[in-house]
Amino acid sequence: MKRARKITAVEQAAAIYVHFFLLQAVEQLLLRSEAEKIYWHQYLAEYYQYYCTDPSYTFKDLPYHMYKGGLWKQMIQYYRTDQRSIVCPPFNKQKYLNLIRCERHTPDMMNLSRPVRLCQMCALKPGLASPLSVSTKTTCIICGTWIVSHPSMETVGRVCIRHCGRFGPTSDQCFYCERLIHGAGAMSTPGLLCQHCSFGNNANRCARLLESDSGV
């Protein structure tokens, strides 16, 4: 989203005191249309992303307004690349990112889905799923949480047929760079899910995060 004009000190003071229940009251009483609600969520998201200097407000309020304002692509980038998101509690990241996760189930049958694979370059590169300086193969492909577990407890993510990519469900394609992976399994690494992102039905849910509510 493009930056708007510089926010004044009065507007900053007003924005910083916006609390959850007050926001709900404002939405119900003053914001009559869905377009008005989205506009103000985007306005507040811009404030918390570019102007707020208090990280305790940023990590709590920025994802909320990005989600409500339909700025899902920016929210993914915030959690994956913004150093300020490192202090976010894992449950906070997992909550919002699983809200924008594809809802389709991924049955392991009839080429209706495929397991997530990472090419060797992306598997070793840090910063693709999290701002942490750890290799991507050791982080959850949904929330970026560092995974330390026994191989027998690891859950490999899967993508539905719609999100298998341009090479289809019968070919291995890197989850991040989307390049075709040639050769056997030794040329790629499985994309893992943390315990929270694989809990219950999430284990059989498509691992692709949606960049908008249009389903893509």
Q: What is the mean pLDDT of residues 34-44?
A: 88
Q: Is the dihedral of CA 47, 65, 138, 104 positive or negative?
A: negative
- Asked if residue 43 lies in contact with residue 18, where contact means CB atoms within 8 angstroms, the answer is no
Q: What is the mean pLDDT of residues 76-89?
A: 92
The angle formed by the CA atoms of residues 106, 136 and 104, to the nearest 5 degrees, is: 15
Return the SS3 of 104: coil
Q: What is the mean pLDDT of residues 172-201?
A: 86
Return the DSSP state at 27.
Answer: H
Q: Quick one: pLDDT band at residue 14, thresholds 50, 70, 90?
A: low
Domains of the chain: which residue ranges? 9-99, 113-204
Q: What is the mean pLDDT of residues 151-171?
A: 84
Residue length of the chain: 216
pLDDT at 157 over 60: yes
Return the DSSP state at 13.
Answer: H
pLDDT at 3 over 80: no
- Each residue's pLDDT tens digit, 101-147: 999 999 877 778 999 999 999 999 998 999 988 899 999 999 999 88
As a whole number, the mean pLDDT across the chain is 84
Which residues touch 55 (CB under 8 Å, ≥6 apart)? 84, 87
